Amino acid sequence: MTRETPFAPQLQTNIEHIRLLMGESTDFVVREIAISCSKRAVLFYLDGMIDKPTLQDHLLAPLQERRHGDEFSLSELKDCILNAGEVSFVFSIEDGLQRVLSGSVLVVLDGAEEGISVAMPGWEDRDITEPKLQTVIRGPQDSFTETIRTNTTLVRRRIKDIRLRLTTVQVGAETKTDVAIMYIQGVANDEMVRQTLEKLNRIRENRVLEGEYLEENLREGKIQTIFPLFYNTDRPDSIAAGIMEGKIAIFIDGTPFVLLAPALFVDFIQSAEDYYQSYLYSNFIRILRYIALFICLLAPAIYIALTTFHQDMFPTVLLLNLAAQREGVPFPAFVEALIMEVTFEILREAGIRMPRTIGQAVSIVGTIVIGQAAVEASIVSAVMVIVVSITAISSFVIPSYSMSIAIRLLRFIFMGLAAVFGIYGLTIGMILLIIHLCSLHSFGVPYTSPVAPFNASKERDAILRFPYGRR
């Protein structure tokens, strides 16, 4: 716990102590001004963190106008002279400097044992742009930014309800990151809100720079899982929809991604565009997503199991064709699939990390060239290239990137089970996977609900979307 140091009556003592705490930072400004014939004041702020026109018009100008007038007290300065937005007293140097680090100006008067904090944030913000991860053809085209107040405003524009609540805490001993939770009182579970705030206040991380820092601290129990237990998105409409369903949104200053809890498995297969298109088309696309999910998870494993243990399940003509293609391939099906899957994952990661102007082209050309060269060199068969390609394309159909990562990792486990036990291994793997999913909870809510446990009232938007007015 940091010891609170009160302001000293001597202005020079305060200046020396504050300079000692802030060090020799070149962006830390200490500006002394005369506010009357016999009294001085000093302003502390960080260059680049405040709005300088506001500083000049709403703080310096009022003080200079009274420079040759009567003396005034700290309360008169706060209530009558300063016409800035948020003005408040601070009673310790540490509290005042913490506000300076958040974009405020600290005003200290000679002879006063308190300071005044004037909020004047003025750093550069990124403009609101289109969503990058969850794009839609029809629907809102705005996304969150790295500024927490901009993000909360984007949600408030969509939910004009007086019951909408916003509570902000600071998390991280070093970063003092602003973290806010937003919910609708009376719709969200009160106990869930209380527990969320308690968990945030108990976090002892030194730094919080992104949502993952919070996710790992807010997870329930000791069960480790690769599945995401928080829904994260950069779309304000998705967060607004979740809040109206009784969920809690968690905003983290410095990241354009907002967390939503509780998160269910079905949430990661749904897209915001499902609600902006005809329900018939939306249901068709949802069915395609579930098919793509199973292809992404099981396609290479099924191919390995069939070619290794269950050749009799192939039609004769297809079996002969596969045997002809695999003639000369030196590796078993599992090693063959492993080579191609790892190669594609490397190309995918390279395409993400490379400059955008060439990343996509390199990943596409690299995939085609490597696949064709591998087939011609008899390292892999042509069918394996087709299977891996379909699997990779199916992974892009899953709307949530975090869920896509989990499915991609599980794919390798199922490939190993298929190589050792065949179809029996896949069956055992699926049973264990379902048991694991049913054991997970997100903020006390079963991860597989409303399917298991079954909830008929919420089934109308779980797998399929019913028409509006009939839900």
Per-residue pLDDT at 297: 94
Q: Once rounded to an integer, what is the mean pLDDT over residues 338-367?
A: 76
User: The pTM is what?
Assistant: 0.86
Report which of residues 437 and 56 the model is more confident about.
Answer: 437
d(CA 231, CA 15): 47
* Residue 374 pLDDT greater than 70, yes or no: yes
- Tell me which residue of 262, 240, 239, 258 sits closest to 250, measured CA to CA: 258
Report which of residues 222 and 429 the model is more confident about.
Answer: 429
Least trusted range by pLDDT, from 240-254, 257-271, 452-466: 452-466
What is the full DSSP assignment across 352-418?
HHS-HHHHHHHHHHHHHHHHHHHHHTTSS-HHHHHHHHHHHHHHTTSS-HHHHHHHHHHHHHHHHHH
Q: Once rounded to an integer, what is the mean pLDDT over residues 97-102?
A: 90
The alpha carbon torsion through 158, 49, 203, 144 (nearest 10 deg) reads 30
Q: Once rounded to an integer, what is the mean pLDDT over residues 86-98?
A: 90
Q: What percent of the chain has pLDDT over 70?
A: 93
* Residue 245 pLDDT greater than 70, yes or no: yes
Per-residue pLDDT at 82: 74
d(CA 95, CA 93): 5
d(CA 447, CA 452): 8
The alpha carbon torsion through 289, 292, 297, 298 (nearest 10 deg) reads 140
Q: What percent of the chain has pLDDT over 90?
A: 42
Per-residue pLDDT at 112: 84
**CB atoms closer than 10 angstroms to residue 457:** 7
* Residue 284 pLDDT greater than 70, yes or no: yes
Least trusted range by pLDDT, from 34-48, 244-258, 344-358: 344-358
Average pLDDT, the chain: 86
Burial class, 152, CB count within 10 angstroms (exposed 0-12 / middle 13-18 / buried 19+): buried
Q: Once rounded to an integer, what is the mean pLDDT over residues 109-132?
A: 85
Least trusted range by pLDDT, from 72-86, 146-160, 161-175: 72-86
**CB atoms closer than 10 angstroms to residue 37:** 10
**CB atoms closer than 10 angstroms to residue 155:** 21
* Residue 40 pLDDT greater than 80, yes or no: yes
The domain spans of the chain are 11-119, 148-263, 275-460
State the pLDDT confidence band at 206, using cuts at 50, 70 and 90.
Answer: confident
* Residue 1 pLDDT greater than 50, yes or no: no
